[in-house]
Structure 1
Amino acid sequence: MIDEGGAPVVPSNGRGAVLVLLAFFVFSATDAIVKIMADTIPAPQVTFLITVAALVLLLGHAIATGRIHRLVPRQPSLAFWRAFLLAVDTLLIHYAFAKLPLAEAYLIAFLTPILVAMLGFVFLGERLSRIGWAGVLVGFAGVVVALKPGVAPLNLGHLAAFASAVFFALSLILLRRAKMAETDAALVASLLIVMTPVALAVAAVATDMVPLDLPGYGLSLAGGALMLGGHALLVRAFRVGEASVVAPFQYSQIIWGCLYGVLLFATPVEPHTVLGAAIIILSGWLVLRGSSERLGA
Protein backbone atom coordinates (compact mmCIF):
# COMPACT_ATOMS: atom_id res chain seq x y z
CA MET A 1 0.00 0.00 0.00
CA ILE A 2 1.39 3.39 -1.03
CA ASP A 3 0.78 6.72 0.70
CA GLU A 4 -0.16 9.92 -1.13
CA GLY A 5 3.48 11.02 -1.00
CA GLY A 6 4.77 7.77 -2.48
CA ALA A 7 5.99 6.24 0.79
CA PRO A 8 4.81 2.78 1.83
CA VAL A 9 2.05 2.66 4.45
CA VAL A 10 2.09 -0.19 6.94
CA PRO A 11 -1.42 -1.00 8.19
CA SER A 12 -1.56 -0.82 11.98
CA ASN A 13 -4.64 -1.08 14.19
CA GLY A 14 -2.59 0.21 17.13
CA ARG A 15 -1.52 3.34 15.24
CA GLY A 16 -5.06 3.79 13.97
CA ALA A 17 -6.36 3.63 17.56
CA VAL A 18 -3.90 6.30 18.72
CA LEU A 19 -4.80 8.58 15.80
CA VAL A 20 -8.56 8.23 16.35
CA LEU A 21 -8.15 8.89 20.07
CA LEU A 22 -6.37 12.13 19.17
CA ALA A 23 -9.09 12.91 16.60
CA PHE A 24 -11.91 12.68 19.14
CA PHE A 25 -9.83 14.60 21.69
CA VAL A 26 -9.59 17.41 19.13
CA PHE A 27 -13.27 17.11 18.15
CA SER A 28 -14.25 17.45 21.81
CA ALA A 29 -12.18 20.65 21.98
CA THR A 30 -14.14 21.90 18.97
CA ASP A 31 -17.41 21.08 20.76
CA ALA A 32 -16.20 23.06 23.78
CA ILE A 33 -15.60 26.11 21.58
CA VAL A 34 -19.04 25.66 20.02
CA LYS A 35 -20.55 25.62 23.52
CA ILE A 36 -18.71 28.82 24.46
CA MET A 37 -19.74 30.63 21.27
CA ALA A 38 -23.36 29.41 21.46
CA ASP A 39 -23.86 31.48 24.61
CA THR A 40 -24.06 34.62 22.46
CA ILE A 41 -24.37 33.33 18.86
CA PRO A 42 -27.06 30.97 17.48
CA ALA A 43 -25.72 27.43 17.23
CA PRO A 44 -26.38 27.02 13.45
CA GLN A 45 -24.39 30.20 12.79
CA VAL A 46 -21.56 28.88 14.97
CA THR A 47 -21.47 25.68 12.90
CA PHE A 48 -21.27 27.72 9.69
CA LEU A 49 -18.53 30.04 11.01
CA ILE A 50 -16.32 27.19 12.17
CA THR A 51 -16.82 25.23 8.94
CA VAL A 52 -15.91 28.28 6.84
CA ALA A 53 -12.84 28.93 8.99
CA ALA A 54 -11.68 25.34 8.53
CA LEU A 55 -12.13 25.57 4.76
CA VAL A 56 -10.27 28.90 4.55
CA LEU A 57 -7.38 27.53 6.61
CA LEU A 58 -7.16 24.43 4.41
CA LEU A 59 -7.20 26.48 1.21
CA GLY A 60 -4.67 28.95 2.61
CA HIS A 61 -2.26 26.18 3.58
CA ALA A 62 -2.63 24.46 0.20
CA ILE A 63 -1.96 27.70 -1.69
CA ALA A 64 0.99 28.66 0.53
CA THR A 65 2.64 25.24 0.08
CA GLY A 66 1.83 24.95 -3.63
CA ARG A 67 -0.30 21.85 -3.06
CA ILE A 68 -3.68 23.12 -4.20
CA HIS A 69 -3.87 20.21 -6.66
CA ARG A 70 -4.02 17.77 -3.74
CA LEU A 71 -7.42 19.15 -2.76
CA VAL A 72 -8.97 17.77 -5.97
CA PRO A 73 -10.28 14.23 -5.37
CA ARG A 74 -9.28 11.48 -7.77
CA GLN A 75 -12.43 9.61 -6.80
CA PRO A 76 -14.93 12.50 -6.86
CA SER A 77 -18.02 10.31 -6.51
CA LEU A 78 -16.70 8.59 -3.38
CA ALA A 79 -15.53 11.88 -1.87
CA PHE A 80 -18.88 13.54 -2.60
CA TRP A 81 -20.99 10.72 -1.16
CA ARG A 82 -18.88 10.58 1.99
CA ALA A 83 -19.26 14.35 2.42
CA PHE A 84 -22.99 14.12 1.74
CA LEU A 85 -23.42 11.36 4.32
CA LEU A 86 -21.59 13.45 6.94
CA ALA A 87 -23.65 16.54 6.09
CA VAL A 88 -26.90 14.60 6.56
CA ASP A 89 -25.47 13.08 9.75
CA THR A 90 -24.83 16.58 11.12
CA LEU A 91 -28.34 17.81 10.32
CA LEU A 92 -29.93 14.73 11.88
CA ILE A 93 -27.92 14.82 15.11
CA HIS A 94 -28.61 18.55 15.54
CA TYR A 95 -32.34 17.80 15.17
CA ALA A 96 -32.01 15.00 17.72
CA PHE A 97 -30.28 17.38 20.16
CA ALA A 98 -33.27 19.73 19.86
CA LYS A 99 -35.82 16.97 20.54
CA LEU A 100 -34.07 14.76 23.13
CA PRO A 101 -32.02 15.09 26.30
CA LEU A 102 -28.36 15.28 25.26
CA ALA A 103 -27.49 12.05 27.10
CA GLU A 104 -30.18 10.13 25.24
CA ALA A 105 -29.19 11.55 21.85
CA TYR A 106 -25.52 10.71 22.48
CA LEU A 107 -26.40 7.20 23.59
CA ILE A 108 -28.23 6.43 20.36
CA ALA A 109 -25.58 8.15 18.23
CA PHE A 110 -22.92 5.99 19.87
CA LEU A 111 -24.39 2.93 18.21
CA THR A 112 -22.02 3.87 15.35
CA PRO A 113 -19.14 1.52 16.37
CA ILE A 114 -21.53 -1.45 16.52
CA LEU A 115 -22.92 -0.53 13.10
CA VAL A 116 -19.40 -0.10 11.69
CA ALA A 117 -18.44 -3.58 12.93
CA MET A 118 -21.50 -5.03 11.17
CA LEU A 119 -21.08 -3.01 7.96
CA GLY A 120 -17.33 -3.66 7.94
CA PHE A 121 -18.04 -7.38 7.80
CA VAL A 122 -20.61 -6.99 4.98
CA PHE A 123 -18.77 -4.48 2.77
CA LEU A 124 -15.09 -4.79 3.70
CA GLY A 125 -14.80 -8.40 4.81
CA GLU A 126 -13.41 -7.29 8.20
CA ARG A 127 -14.14 -9.81 10.91
CA LEU A 128 -13.93 -8.97 14.60
CA SER A 129 -12.89 -11.74 16.96
CA ARG A 130 -15.09 -12.68 19.91
CA ILE A 131 -12.88 -10.57 22.17
CA GLY A 132 -13.21 -7.66 19.75
CA TRP A 133 -17.00 -7.92 19.72
CA ALA A 134 -16.94 -8.11 23.51
CA GLY A 135 -14.92 -4.89 23.54
CA VAL A 136 -17.41 -3.10 21.28
CA LEU A 137 -20.38 -4.15 23.43
CA VAL A 138 -18.56 -3.44 26.71
CA GLY A 139 -17.74 0.03 25.38
CA PHE A 140 -21.39 0.72 24.65
CA ALA A 141 -22.27 -0.47 28.16
CA GLY A 142 -19.69 2.02 29.46
CA VAL A 143 -21.43 4.79 27.53
CA VAL A 144 -24.75 3.81 29.14
CA VAL A 145 -23.17 3.94 32.61
CA ALA A 146 -21.38 7.25 31.96
CA LEU A 147 -24.38 9.06 30.49
CA LYS A 148 -27.08 7.53 32.74
CA PRO A 149 -29.81 8.51 30.26
CA GLY A 150 -33.46 8.83 31.15
CA VAL A 151 -36.33 7.36 29.19
CA ALA A 152 -38.10 9.98 27.08
CA PRO A 153 -41.26 9.13 25.10
CA LEU A 154 -40.40 7.91 21.62
CA ASN A 155 -40.46 10.71 19.05
CA LEU A 156 -38.80 11.73 15.79
CA GLY A 157 -35.71 12.73 17.73
CA HIS A 158 -34.96 9.07 18.49
CA LEU A 159 -35.33 8.18 14.80
CA ALA A 160 -33.10 11.11 13.81
CA ALA A 161 -30.38 10.06 16.29
CA PHE A 162 -30.42 6.47 15.02
CA ALA A 163 -30.37 7.60 11.38
CA SER A 164 -27.44 9.87 12.28
CA ALA A 165 -25.51 6.86 13.59
CA VAL A 166 -26.26 4.94 10.37
CA PHE A 167 -25.11 7.79 8.12
CA PHE A 168 -21.93 8.30 10.15
CA ALA A 169 -21.16 4.57 10.05
CA LEU A 170 -21.64 4.50 6.27
CA SER A 171 -19.33 7.51 5.88
CA LEU A 172 -16.62 5.69 7.85
CA ILE A 173 -17.00 2.60 5.66
CA LEU A 174 -16.60 4.78 2.55
CA LEU A 175 -13.55 6.37 4.14
CA ARG A 176 -12.00 2.95 4.67
CA ARG A 177 -12.66 2.07 1.02
CA ALA A 178 -10.90 5.19 -0.27
CA LYS A 179 -7.79 4.23 -2.18
CA MET A 180 -4.44 5.42 -0.84
CA ALA A 181 -3.99 7.26 -4.15
CA GLU A 182 -6.65 9.67 -2.82
CA THR A 183 -5.01 12.35 -0.71
CA ASP A 184 -6.15 12.97 2.85
CA ALA A 185 -6.43 16.67 1.98
CA ALA A 186 -8.87 15.91 -0.86
CA LEU A 187 -11.11 13.90 1.45
CA VAL A 188 -11.16 16.68 4.05
CA ALA A 189 -11.62 19.42 1.43
CA SER A 190 -14.58 17.68 -0.21
CA LEU A 191 -16.25 17.37 3.19
CA LEU A 192 -15.81 21.07 4.01
CA ILE A 193 -16.90 22.19 0.54
CA VAL A 194 -20.16 20.25 0.88
CA MET A 195 -20.69 21.18 4.53
CA THR A 196 -20.24 24.95 4.04
CA PRO A 197 -23.38 25.63 1.92
CA VAL A 198 -25.37 23.12 4.00
CA ALA A 199 -24.38 24.87 7.23
CA LEU A 200 -25.15 28.29 5.70
CA ALA A 201 -28.59 27.17 4.55
CA VAL A 202 -29.45 25.77 7.99
CA ALA A 203 -28.18 28.94 9.70
CA ALA A 204 -30.17 31.19 7.35
CA VAL A 205 -33.40 29.23 7.81
CA ALA A 206 -33.10 28.46 11.51
CA THR A 207 -32.38 31.92 12.92
CA ASP A 208 -31.22 35.47 12.24
CA MET A 209 -27.49 36.01 11.93
CA VAL A 210 -25.79 38.15 14.59
CA PRO A 211 -22.69 40.31 14.07
CA LEU A 212 -19.35 39.04 15.37
CA ASP A 213 -16.96 40.85 17.68
CA LEU A 214 -13.18 40.29 17.75
CA PRO A 215 -13.31 37.40 20.28
CA GLY A 216 -15.97 35.79 18.09
CA TYR A 217 -13.67 35.84 15.08
CA GLY A 218 -10.84 34.43 17.20
CA LEU A 219 -12.98 31.58 18.53
CA SER A 220 -14.26 30.83 15.01
CA LEU A 221 -10.68 30.58 13.75
CA ALA A 222 -9.64 28.35 16.66
CA GLY A 223 -12.69 26.14 16.17
CA GLY A 224 -12.00 25.88 12.44
CA ALA A 225 -8.37 24.87 13.07
CA LEU A 226 -9.49 22.19 15.51
CA MET A 227 -12.20 20.91 13.15
CA LEU A 228 -9.65 20.72 10.35
CA GLY A 229 -7.14 18.87 12.53
CA GLY A 230 -9.77 16.48 13.86
CA HIS A 231 -10.96 15.46 10.40
CA ALA A 232 -7.39 15.06 9.15
CA LEU A 233 -6.62 12.71 12.07
CA LEU A 234 -9.89 10.81 11.55
CA VAL A 235 -9.18 10.27 7.85
CA ARG A 236 -5.68 8.99 8.55
CA ALA A 237 -6.83 6.72 11.39
CA PHE A 238 -9.37 4.90 9.20
CA ARG A 239 -6.88 4.51 6.36
CA VAL A 240 -4.26 2.97 8.64
CA GLY A 241 -6.47 0.76 10.83
CA GLU A 242 -9.44 -1.51 10.20
CA ALA A 243 -12.77 0.32 10.50
CA SER A 244 -14.29 -2.25 12.87
CA VAL A 245 -11.29 -1.91 15.22
CA VAL A 246 -10.80 1.86 15.06
CA ALA A 247 -14.48 2.91 15.31
CA PRO A 248 -15.08 1.81 18.96
CA PHE A 249 -12.59 4.43 20.14
CA GLN A 250 -15.34 6.97 19.43
CA TYR A 251 -16.52 6.07 22.95
CA SER A 252 -13.50 8.01 24.27
CA GLN A 253 -15.38 11.20 23.44
CA ILE A 254 -17.24 10.75 26.74
CA ILE A 255 -13.90 10.93 28.58
CA TRP A 256 -12.65 13.94 26.62
CA GLY A 257 -15.96 15.74 27.05
CA CYS A 258 -15.76 15.21 30.81
CA LEU A 259 -12.18 16.54 30.85
CA TYR A 260 -13.08 19.74 28.97
CA GLY A 261 -16.13 20.16 31.17
CA VAL A 262 -13.93 20.19 34.28
CA LEU A 263 -11.26 22.47 32.80
CA LEU A 264 -13.46 25.02 31.01
CA PHE A 265 -16.91 24.91 32.58
CA ALA A 266 -16.24 23.71 36.15
CA THR A 267 -18.60 20.79 35.55
CA PRO A 268 -18.45 18.34 38.48
CA VAL A 269 -17.40 14.77 37.71
CA GLU A 270 -20.04 12.29 38.83
CA PRO A 271 -19.08 8.80 40.12
CA HIS A 272 -21.10 7.11 37.34
CA THR A 273 -19.10 9.08 34.76
CA VAL A 274 -15.80 7.84 36.22
CA LEU A 275 -17.09 4.26 36.28
CA GLY A 276 -18.31 4.53 32.68
CA ALA A 277 -14.95 5.94 31.60
CA ALA A 278 -13.15 3.01 33.23
CA ILE A 279 -15.40 0.56 31.38
CA ILE A 280 -14.74 2.39 28.09
CA ILE A 281 -10.97 2.15 28.65
CA LEU A 282 -11.36 -1.59 29.26
CA SER A 283 -13.35 -1.91 26.04
CA GLY A 284 -10.56 -0.25 24.03
CA TRP A 285 -8.06 -2.72 25.44
CA LEU A 286 -10.35 -5.64 24.53
CA VAL A 287 -10.83 -4.39 20.96
CA LEU A 288 -7.06 -4.03 20.39
CA ARG A 289 -6.32 -7.37 22.04
CA GLY A 290 -8.95 -9.07 19.91
CA SER A 291 -7.52 -7.59 16.71
CA SER A 292 -3.95 -8.55 17.60
CA GLU A 293 -4.95 -12.14 18.43
CA ARG A 294 -6.89 -12.44 15.17
CA LEU A 295 -4.02 -11.04 13.08
CA GLY A 296 -1.57 -13.30 14.88
CA ALA A 297 -3.69 -16.38 14.32
Structure 2
Amino acid sequence: MSPNLRGALLMCGSMAGFTFNDAIIKYLGTELPLFQIVVLRGVLTCFFIYLLARRLGMFHLRFPAQDRVLVLIRCLSEVAVTYFFLNALLHMPLANVTAVLQALPLTVTLGAALFFREQVGWRRMLAIAVGFCGMLLIVRPGAEGFTQHSYFALLAVVMITIRDLVTRQMSAQVPSMMVTFATALTVTIAAGFASLTEPWVPVTLPLAGLILTASGFILLGYLCSVLVMRAGDVGFIAPFRYSGLIWALALGWMVFGDWPDPVTMLGGALVVATGLFTLFRERFAQTQPKT
Protein backbone atom coordinates (compact mmCIF):
# COMPACT_ATOMS: atom_id res chain seq x y z
CA MET A 1 0.00 0.00 0.00
CA SER A 2 1.42 3.37 -1.00
CA PRO A 3 1.91 6.06 1.70
CA ASN A 4 -0.74 8.28 0.06
CA LEU A 5 -3.33 5.49 -0.03
CA ARG A 6 -2.55 4.54 3.57
CA GLY A 7 -2.88 8.20 4.59
CA ALA A 8 -6.19 8.57 2.76
CA LEU A 9 -7.59 5.48 4.51
CA LEU A 10 -6.39 6.75 7.88
CA MET A 11 -8.05 10.12 7.26
CA CYS A 12 -11.32 8.38 6.32
CA GLY A 13 -10.98 6.22 9.42
CA SER A 14 -10.46 9.30 11.59
CA MET A 15 -13.54 11.02 10.19
CA ALA A 16 -15.60 7.84 10.55
CA GLY A 17 -14.51 7.43 14.18
CA PHE A 18 -15.43 10.99 15.13
CA THR A 19 -18.74 10.93 13.22
CA PHE A 20 -19.89 7.58 14.66
CA ASN A 21 -19.01 8.94 18.11
CA ASP A 22 -21.13 12.02 17.40
CA ALA A 23 -24.09 9.89 16.31
CA ILE A 24 -23.92 7.79 19.49
CA ILE A 25 -23.65 10.88 21.71
CA LYS A 26 -26.63 12.41 19.91
CA TYR A 27 -28.65 9.27 20.60
CA LEU A 28 -27.52 9.08 24.24
CA GLY A 29 -28.61 12.71 24.68
CA THR A 30 -32.23 11.56 24.62
CA GLU A 31 -31.57 9.21 27.55
CA LEU A 32 -28.92 10.83 29.75
CA PRO A 33 -27.90 14.36 30.82
CA LEU A 34 -25.23 15.90 28.61
CA PHE A 35 -22.53 16.37 31.25
CA GLN A 36 -23.01 12.87 32.61
CA ILE A 37 -22.39 11.51 29.11
CA VAL A 38 -19.23 13.59 28.72
CA VAL A 39 -17.88 12.47 32.11
CA LEU A 40 -18.52 8.76 31.55
CA ARG A 41 -17.15 8.83 28.02
CA GLY A 42 -14.22 10.97 29.14
CA VAL A 43 -13.10 8.61 31.90
CA LEU A 44 -12.96 5.70 29.47
CA THR A 45 -11.34 7.79 26.76
CA CYS A 46 -8.62 9.12 29.10
CA PHE A 47 -7.84 5.58 30.22
CA PHE A 48 -7.52 4.32 26.64
CA ILE A 49 -5.44 7.32 25.52
CA TYR A 50 -3.13 6.93 28.53
CA LEU A 51 -2.46 3.28 27.66
CA LEU A 52 -1.90 4.17 24.00
CA ALA A 53 0.41 7.10 24.81
CA ARG A 54 2.51 4.93 27.13
CA ARG A 55 2.65 2.23 24.48
CA LEU A 56 3.90 4.72 21.87
CA GLY A 57 6.38 6.31 24.31
CA MET A 58 4.61 9.67 24.04
CA PHE A 59 3.63 10.16 27.68
CA HIS A 60 6.07 12.75 29.03
CA LEU A 61 6.35 16.47 29.79
CA ARG A 62 9.81 17.04 28.36
CA PHE A 63 8.96 20.09 26.28
CA PRO A 64 9.45 23.87 26.74
CA ALA A 65 7.40 25.96 29.17
CA GLN A 66 6.03 28.05 26.31
CA ASP A 67 4.54 24.91 24.79
CA ARG A 68 2.93 24.05 28.12
CA VAL A 69 1.10 27.38 28.04
CA LEU A 70 -0.09 26.61 24.52
CA VAL A 71 -1.27 23.17 25.63
CA LEU A 72 -3.23 24.79 28.47
CA ILE A 73 -4.88 27.27 26.07
CA ARG A 74 -5.71 24.42 23.72
CA CYS A 75 -7.29 22.42 26.55
CA LEU A 76 -9.46 25.36 27.65
CA SER A 77 -10.51 25.93 24.02
CA GLU A 78 -11.51 22.28 23.78
CA VAL A 79 -13.74 22.65 26.86
CA ALA A 80 -15.64 25.44 25.07
CA VAL A 81 -15.72 23.39 21.86
CA THR A 82 -17.23 20.42 23.68
CA TYR A 83 -19.96 22.53 25.27
CA PHE A 84 -20.98 24.39 22.12
CA PHE A 85 -20.64 21.47 19.73
CA LEU A 86 -22.52 18.91 21.83
CA ASN A 87 -25.34 21.35 22.58
CA ALA A 88 -25.68 21.98 18.84
CA LEU A 89 -25.40 18.27 18.08
CA LEU A 90 -28.21 17.31 20.45
CA HIS A 91 -30.64 19.82 18.92
CA MET A 92 -29.67 19.94 15.23
CA PRO A 93 -29.54 17.25 12.51
CA LEU A 94 -26.21 15.44 12.51
CA ALA A 95 -25.47 16.30 8.87
CA ASN A 96 -26.18 20.02 9.43
CA VAL A 97 -23.75 20.29 12.33
CA THR A 98 -21.11 18.31 10.45
CA ALA A 99 -21.57 20.47 7.35
CA VAL A 100 -20.94 23.63 9.39
CA LEU A 101 -17.70 22.11 10.70
CA GLN A 102 -16.49 21.58 7.13
CA ALA A 103 -15.75 25.32 7.09
CA LEU A 104 -12.72 24.74 9.34
CA PRO A 105 -10.09 24.76 6.55
CA LEU A 106 -11.49 28.15 5.54
CA THR A 107 -11.57 29.63 9.05
CA VAL A 108 -8.10 28.32 9.92
CA THR A 109 -6.69 29.79 6.68
CA LEU A 110 -8.35 33.13 7.45
CA GLY A 111 -7.16 33.07 11.05
CA ALA A 112 -3.58 32.30 9.99
CA ALA A 113 -3.69 35.27 7.61
CA LEU A 114 -5.10 37.64 10.24
CA PHE A 115 -3.02 36.64 13.26
CA PHE A 116 0.15 35.09 11.86
CA ARG A 117 0.46 37.22 8.71
CA GLU A 118 0.53 34.16 6.48
CA GLN A 119 0.20 35.04 2.82
CA VAL A 120 -3.27 34.32 1.41
CA GLY A 121 -3.93 35.33 -2.20
CA TRP A 122 -7.12 36.85 -3.56
CA ARG A 123 -8.29 33.50 -4.91
CA ARG A 124 -8.27 31.88 -1.50
CA MET A 125 -9.85 34.94 0.09
CA LEU A 126 -12.65 34.76 -2.50
CA ALA A 127 -13.06 31.04 -1.78
CA ILE A 128 -13.31 31.82 1.96
CA ALA A 129 -16.04 34.40 1.28
CA VAL A 130 -18.01 31.95 -0.88
CA GLY A 131 -17.56 29.23 1.74
CA PHE A 132 -18.96 31.49 4.45
CA CYS A 133 -21.97 32.16 2.22
CA GLY A 134 -22.43 28.40 2.01
CA MET A 135 -22.27 28.15 5.81
CA LEU A 136 -24.98 30.82 6.06
CA LEU A 137 -27.16 28.71 3.76
CA ILE A 138 -26.80 25.85 6.22
CA VAL A 139 -27.70 27.76 9.39
CA ARG A 140 -29.86 30.42 7.67
CA PRO A 141 -29.96 33.31 10.17
CA GLY A 142 -33.45 34.74 10.42
CA ALA A 143 -35.11 31.58 9.17
CA GLU A 144 -37.69 29.79 11.30
CA GLY A 145 -35.31 26.90 11.99
CA PHE A 146 -32.51 29.16 13.23
CA THR A 147 -32.18 28.79 17.00
CA GLN A 148 -29.59 29.43 19.69
CA HIS A 149 -28.18 26.01 18.85
CA SER A 150 -27.30 27.30 15.39
CA TYR A 151 -25.27 29.96 17.17
CA PHE A 152 -23.65 27.18 19.21
CA ALA A 153 -22.58 25.42 16.00
CA LEU A 154 -20.98 28.64 14.73
CA LEU A 155 -19.30 29.27 18.10
CA ALA A 156 -17.94 25.71 17.98
CA VAL A 157 -16.30 26.54 14.64
CA VAL A 158 -14.76 29.69 16.15
CA MET A 159 -13.38 27.81 19.15
CA ILE A 160 -12.04 24.92 17.03
CA THR A 161 -10.30 27.48 14.84
CA ILE A 162 -8.63 29.01 17.91
CA ARG A 163 -7.67 25.52 19.10
CA ASP A 164 -6.12 24.59 15.76
CA LEU A 165 -4.24 27.90 15.41
CA VAL A 166 -2.78 27.42 18.89
CA THR A 167 -1.82 23.85 17.98
CA ARG A 168 0.05 25.12 14.92
CA GLN A 169 2.26 27.23 17.20
CA MET A 170 3.45 24.24 19.26
CA SER A 171 6.96 22.97 18.67
CA ALA A 172 7.69 19.48 17.33
CA GLN A 173 8.88 18.52 20.84
CA VAL A 174 5.30 18.23 22.08
CA PRO A 175 3.98 14.64 21.72
CA SER A 176 0.62 14.55 19.92
CA MET A 177 -0.79 11.87 22.22
CA MET A 178 0.24 13.84 25.31
CA VAL A 179 -1.72 16.83 23.99
CA THR A 180 -4.67 14.55 23.28
CA PHE A 181 -4.55 13.08 26.80
CA ALA A 182 -4.29 16.52 28.45
CA THR A 183 -7.23 17.75 26.37
CA ALA A 184 -9.43 14.76 27.15
CA LEU A 185 -8.58 14.97 30.86
CA THR A 186 -9.38 18.71 31.03
CA VAL A 187 -12.73 18.23 29.29
CA THR A 188 -13.61 15.35 31.62
CA ILE A 189 -12.74 17.34 34.77
CA ALA A 190 -14.70 20.38 33.56
CA ALA A 191 -17.71 18.20 32.72
CA GLY A 192 -17.41 16.56 36.14
CA PHE A 193 -17.85 19.90 37.89
CA ALA A 194 -20.67 20.90 35.52
CA SER A 195 -22.45 17.58 36.14
CA LEU A 196 -22.89 18.54 39.79
CA THR A 197 -25.54 21.05 38.67
CA GLU A 198 -27.82 18.32 37.30
CA PRO A 199 -29.04 15.00 38.72
CA TRP A 200 -27.39 11.87 37.34
CA VAL A 201 -29.54 9.18 35.76
CA PRO A 202 -29.02 5.43 36.29
CA VAL A 203 -27.17 3.89 33.36
CA THR A 204 -28.63 0.68 31.97
CA LEU A 205 -26.45 -2.02 30.44
CA PRO A 206 -27.36 -1.07 26.81
CA LEU A 207 -26.53 2.59 27.49
CA ALA A 208 -23.25 1.60 29.15
CA GLY A 209 -22.43 -0.40 26.03
CA LEU A 210 -23.10 2.64 23.85
CA ILE A 211 -20.87 4.84 26.02
CA LEU A 212 -18.08 2.25 25.77
CA THR A 213 -18.59 2.10 21.99
CA ALA A 214 -18.44 5.91 21.73
CA SER A 215 -15.15 5.88 23.65
CA GLY A 216 -13.80 3.29 21.23
CA PHE A 217 -14.83 5.36 18.20
CA ILE A 218 -13.34 8.58 19.53
CA LEU A 219 -10.11 6.72 20.34
CA LEU A 220 -10.11 5.45 16.74
CA GLY A 221 -10.54 9.04 15.57
CA TYR A 222 -7.66 10.28 17.74
CA LEU A 223 -5.34 7.42 16.77
CA CYS A 224 -5.96 7.76 13.03
CA SER A 225 -5.59 11.55 13.23
CA VAL A 226 -2.14 11.09 14.79
CA LEU A 227 -1.01 8.36 12.37
CA VAL A 228 -2.25 10.25 9.32
CA MET A 229 0.26 13.04 9.93
CA ARG A 230 3.06 10.48 9.43
CA ALA A 231 1.81 9.02 6.15
CA GLY A 232 1.84 10.36 2.62
CA ASP A 233 1.48 13.82 1.16
CA VAL A 234 -0.67 16.17 3.22
CA GLY A 235 -1.94 17.85 0.05
CA PHE A 236 -3.25 14.50 -1.20
CA ILE A 237 -4.65 13.31 2.13
CA ALA A 238 -6.32 16.49 3.48
CA PRO A 239 -9.34 16.48 1.12
CA PHE A 240 -10.41 13.10 2.50
CA ARG A 241 -11.44 14.84 5.73
CA TYR A 242 -14.67 15.70 3.91
CA SER A 243 -15.63 12.02 4.03
CA GLY A 244 -17.00 12.91 7.48
CA LEU A 245 -19.92 14.66 5.80
CA ILE A 246 -20.78 11.49 3.87
CA TRP A 247 -20.79 9.50 7.12
CA ALA A 248 -22.96 12.16 8.76
CA LEU A 249 -25.49 12.10 5.90
CA ALA A 250 -25.71 8.31 6.03
CA LEU A 251 -25.96 8.04 9.83
CA GLY A 252 -28.39 10.96 10.09
CA TRP A 253 -30.71 9.27 7.63
CA MET A 254 -30.41 5.70 8.96
CA VAL A 255 -30.42 6.42 12.70
CA PHE A 256 -32.44 9.63 13.09
CA GLY A 257 -34.43 9.81 9.85
CA ASP A 258 -32.95 13.22 8.99
CA TRP A 259 -32.05 14.31 5.48
CA PRO A 260 -30.96 17.89 4.71
CA ASP A 261 -33.20 20.00 2.50
CA PRO A 262 -31.89 21.23 -0.89
CA VAL A 263 -30.76 24.62 0.47
CA THR A 264 -28.71 22.96 3.21
CA MET A 265 -27.22 20.54 0.68
CA LEU A 266 -26.29 23.47 -1.55
CA GLY A 267 -24.63 25.24 1.38
CA GLY A 268 -22.71 22.08 2.29
CA ALA A 269 -21.57 21.65 -1.32
CA LEU A 270 -20.30 25.24 -1.41
CA VAL A 271 -18.40 24.81 1.85
CA VAL A 272 -16.78 21.56 0.70
CA ALA A 273 -15.95 22.89 -2.78
CA THR A 274 -14.33 26.07 -1.47
CA GLY A 275 -12.49 24.11 1.20
CA LEU A 276 -11.04 21.78 -1.43
CA PHE A 277 -10.06 24.77 -3.54
CA THR A 278 -8.35 26.38 -0.54
CA LEU A 279 -6.39 23.20 0.16
CA PHE A 280 -5.39 22.99 -3.51
CA ARG A 281 -4.22 26.61 -3.62
CA GLU A 282 -2.27 26.18 -0.35
CA ARG A 283 -0.52 23.14 -1.78
CA PHE A 284 0.19 25.02 -5.01
CA ALA A 285 1.63 27.98 -3.10
CA GLN A 286 3.95 25.68 -1.13
CA THR A 287 5.39 24.22 -4.34
CA GLN A 288 6.28 27.60 -5.81
CA PRO A 289 9.89 28.80 -5.46
CA LYS A 290 10.47 31.57 -2.94
CA THR A 291 11.47 34.94 -4.42
Q: Same fold (TM over 0.5)?
A: yes
Counterparts of 2:10 and 2:38, CA distance in 1: 24
TM-superposition CA deviations, 1:91-130 (whole Å, max 9, x none): 34456678x8679988887765444223212444433333
Counterparts of 1:52 and 1:204, CA distance in 2: 16
Counterpart of 2:214, as a letter, is G
Question: What are the residue-to-residue correspondences of 1:128-139 with 2, within 5 Å?
Answer: 128-139=120-131
Aligned residues: 280
SS in 1 for 2:26: helix
1:196 maps to 2:196: no
Counterparts of 2:88 and 2:126, CA distance in 1: 28
CA contact (8 A) 2:139 2:150 kept: no
Counterparts of 2:76 and 2:118, CA distance in 1: 24
Aligned counterpart, 2:211: 220
Counterpart of 1:53, as a letter, is L
Counterparts of 1:124 and 1:16, CA distance in 2: 28
1:120 maps to 2:120: no
User: What is the percent sequence identity of the aligned residues?
Assistant: 22
Aligned counterpart, 2:200: 209
Q: In 2 relative to 1, CA 79–31 (structure 1 residues): closer, same or farther, beyond 3 Å?
A: same
Counterpart of 2:122, as a letter, is R
Q: In 2 relative to 1, CA 18–178 (structure 1 residues): closer, same or farther, beyond 3 Å?
A: farther
CA contact (8 A) 2:102 2:271 kept: no
Aligned counterpart, 1:171: 163
1:85 maps to 2:77: yes
1:293 maps to 2:280: no
Counterparts of 2:45 and 2:216, CA distance in 1: 6
Counterpart of 1:56, as a letter, is F
TM-score, normalised to structure 1, is 0.73
Structure 1 position 55, deviation (Å): 0.7
CA-based RMSD of the aligned residues comes to: 4.1
Structure 1 position 88, deviation (Å): 2.3
Which 5+ residue runs of structure 2 have no aligned equivalent? none
Aligned counterpart, 2:59: 70
Counterparts of 1:159 and 1:78, CA distance in 2: 26
CA contact (8 A) 1:139 1:251 kept: no
1:61 maps to 2:36: no
Question: What are the residue-to-residue correspondences of 1:1-297 with 2, within 5 Å?
Answer: 22-62=13-53, 65=55, 67=57, 70=59, 72=61, 74=63, 75-94=67-86, 112-146=104-138, 148=140, 150-151=142-143, 163-205=155-197, 207-234=198-225, 253-268=244-259, 270-297=261-288
Q: Which range moves more in the overlay, 40-49 or 269-278?
A: 269-278
Structure 1 position 82, deviation (Å): 0.7
